[in-house]
């Protein structure tokens, strides 16, 4: 009986052990109050793209204190913190730093102090987790070997910061990574959960402008004019067939006309109309088909409307293209296993690829031999998630003035996940 009792006690201890005794989990828990203070300060002081000087300064100072070799001003306001710790792979961890031109309406006591600017995408949770991860990696230096490159990236919201850092020779001035990892907070997953997608995770983002030319005139005499509003309307309608009739149903894409502007008055046929379109895709083939198709449809409809060759629509694809984010299979499956073991099945949820854009993709596309992963960390407070029974249409999305993530849950989960991921790749 005694033996059985001690056996049961031992079994109970073993079952309880992983949740309480893991040194990384414990260290993250102990550091959370300090990290929360940093988070609230960053949240109160959001900065717009390429103006993240204060945020970058906080990250740089923290990394310096921990013994990283720190360089600021990379690609504008970017921070690069390098820790060389013996032979082994080079792992790059990235946090983006910019806020958005949004007026915060969360009512939080630590809401934005900068009028019209808000961390509505949660990049403040990314920066804080970056600091937390740097602390853990410095403290656990004996457990890993290799080089850690931690970067604070400017201007993700305008899709320019990653490119700016690479253009500033990120991969030649500093050790070039064999693995790149980042996370993003999620407004569509419960707090403290993790989501990974193998393959395409976020979309190619293109912006297209169309100037639809017509021939203006009096609204009472349409036969004497060429009405650009009717022509542009036809273009908008025919564009809907690019996805529904021309794209393989098993592929994905979006063509949204977000702006249609023309005219000044009831009885005047204007000389032209302007369309602004966002185009989303994953593969290069679908992207090319959609962009070519927009030009073909605009031209074809204008010809059908009787516009002469020198009056056809002017279609301009903007240069600022954000490429699709691709999670490489080897790293994604390694981390899926690692996170499931560490956090349990209940906290590692199946995630879906999204049609949003992320310029994290640039760090992989600069050299596709790199292993790359962007994962999501859920940020919706448990009480809010339960109240709507997980119906995310009833919750504020990221970029909403009401988005207030459960920051403690995001930060503690992200620090643990990022540290565990880096430790696994940099295993001795
Ligand atoms: Zn974001």
Domain-terminating residue out of 268, 287, 317: 317
DSSP string, 153-222: E--TTTT-HHHHHHHTTHHHHSPPPSEEEEEEEEEEEETT-EEE-SEEEE-EEEEEEEEEE-B-EETT-G
Give residue 182's domain range: 23-202+324-425
pLDDT in tens, 246-269: 999 999 999 999 999 999 999 999
- 163 part of a folded domain: yes
Give me ligand 1 centre to Cα 219, in Å: 46
- 18 part of a folded domain: no
Looking at the structure, do residues 276 and 364 belong to the same domain, yes or no?
no
Looking at the structure, do residues 111 and 39 belong to the same domain, yes or no?
yes
Q: pTM for this one?
A: 0.89
- 8 part of a folded domain: no
Looking at the structure, do residues 176 and 242 belong to the same domain, yes or no?
no
Mean pLDDT of the chain: 95
Give me ligand 1 centre to Cα 342, in Å: 26
Closest CA to 97 of 171, 147, 44, 153: 153
Looking at the structure, do residues 66 and 144 belong to the same domain, yes or no?
yes
Cα gap 349→345, rounded to integer Å: 7
Looking at the structure, do residues 343 and 302 belong to the same domain, yes or no?
no
CATH of the domain at 73: 3.40.630.10
Looking at the structure, do residues 196 and 127 belong to the same domain, yes or no?
yes
Looking at the structure, do residues 245 and 159 belong to the same domain, yes or no?
no
CATH of the domain at 220: 3.30.70.360
- Catalytic (active-site) positions: 98, 156
Q: How far is CA 137 from CA 141, 292, 303, 414, in A?
A: 6, 48, 63, 13
Average pLDDT of the segment spanning 16-40:
87
Residue 48: which pLDDT band, with cuts at 50, 70 and 90? very high
- 269 part of a folded domain: yes
State how many domains the chain has: 2
Domain-terminating residue out of 317, 340, 369: 317
Give me ligand 1 centre to Cα 284, in Å: 23
Give me ligand 1 centre to Cα 157, in Å: 7
- As a whole-number percent, the residues of the chain with pLDDT over 70 amount to 95
pLDDT score, position 20: 56
pLDDT score, position 319: 85
* Ligand 1 is an ion; residues with CB less than 5 A from it: 121
Cα gap 71→246, rounded to integer Å: 49
Looking at the structure, do residues 330 and 234 belong to the same domain, yes or no?
no
Give me ligand 1 centre to Cα 185, in Å: 8
Looking at the structure, do residues 379 and 296 belong to the same domain, yes or no?
no
pLDDT score, position 15: 46
> Residue 204 phi/psi, 5° resolution?
-65, 135
Looking at the structure, do residues 29 and 156 belong to the same domain, yes or no?
yes
pLDDT of 187 strictly over 90: yes
Give me ligand 1 centre to Cα 121, in Å: 5
Domain-terminating residue out of 271, 296, 317: 317
């Amino acid at each position: 009986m005694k033996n059985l009792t001690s056996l049961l006690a031992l079994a109970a201890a073993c079952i309880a052990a992983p949740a309480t005794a893991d040194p990384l989990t414990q260290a993250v828990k102990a550091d959370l109050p300090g990290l929360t203070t940093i988070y609230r300060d960053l949240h109160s002081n959001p900065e717009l793209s390429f103006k993240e000087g204060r945020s970058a300064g906080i990250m740089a100072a923290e990394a310096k204190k921990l013994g990283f070799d720190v360089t600021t001003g990379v690609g504008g306001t970017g921070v690069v913190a390098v820790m060389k710790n013996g032979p082994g792979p080079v792992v790059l961890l990235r946090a983006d730093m910019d806020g958005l031109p949004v007026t915060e309406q969360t009512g939080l006591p630590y809401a934005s102090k900068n009028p019209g600017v808000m961390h509505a995408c949660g990049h403040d949770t990314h920066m804080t987790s970056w600091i937390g991860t740097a602390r853990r990696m410095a403290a656990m230096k004996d457990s890993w070997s290799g080089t850690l490159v931690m970067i604070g990236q400017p201007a993700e919201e305008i899709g320019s910061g990653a490119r700016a850092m690479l253009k500033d020779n990120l991969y030649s001035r500093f050790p070039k990574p064999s693995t790149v990892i980042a996370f993003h907070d999620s407004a569509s997953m419960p707090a403290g959960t993790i989501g990974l997608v193998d393959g395409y995770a976020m979309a190619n983002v293109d912006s297209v402008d169309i100037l639809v030319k017509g021939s203006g005139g009096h609204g009472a005499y349409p036969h004497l004019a060429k009405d650009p509003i009717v022509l542009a309307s036809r273009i908008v309608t025919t564009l809907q067939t690019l996805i529904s009739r021309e794209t393989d149903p098993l592929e994905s894409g979006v063509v949204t006309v977000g702006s249609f502007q023309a005219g000044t008055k009831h009885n005047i046929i204007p000389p032209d109309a302007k369309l602004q379109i966002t185009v989303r895709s994953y593969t290069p083939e679908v992207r090319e088909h959609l962009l070519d198709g927009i030009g073909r449809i605009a031209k074809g409809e204008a010809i059908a409307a009787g516009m002469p060759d020198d009056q056809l629509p002017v279609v301009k694809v903007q240069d600022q293209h954000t490429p699709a984010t691709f999670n490489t299979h080897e790293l994604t499956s390694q981390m899926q296993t690692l996170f499931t073991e560490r956090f349990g099945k209940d906290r590692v949820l199946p995630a879906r690829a999204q049609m949003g854009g992320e310029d994290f993709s640039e760090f992989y596309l600069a050299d596709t031999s790199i292993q790359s992963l962007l994962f999501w960390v859920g940020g919706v407070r448990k009480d809010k998630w339960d109240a709507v029974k997980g119906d995310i249409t009833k919750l504020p999305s990221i970029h909403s003035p009401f988005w207030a993530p459960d920051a403690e849950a995001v930060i503690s989960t992200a620090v643990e996940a990022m540290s565990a991921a880096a430790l696994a790749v940099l295993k001795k």
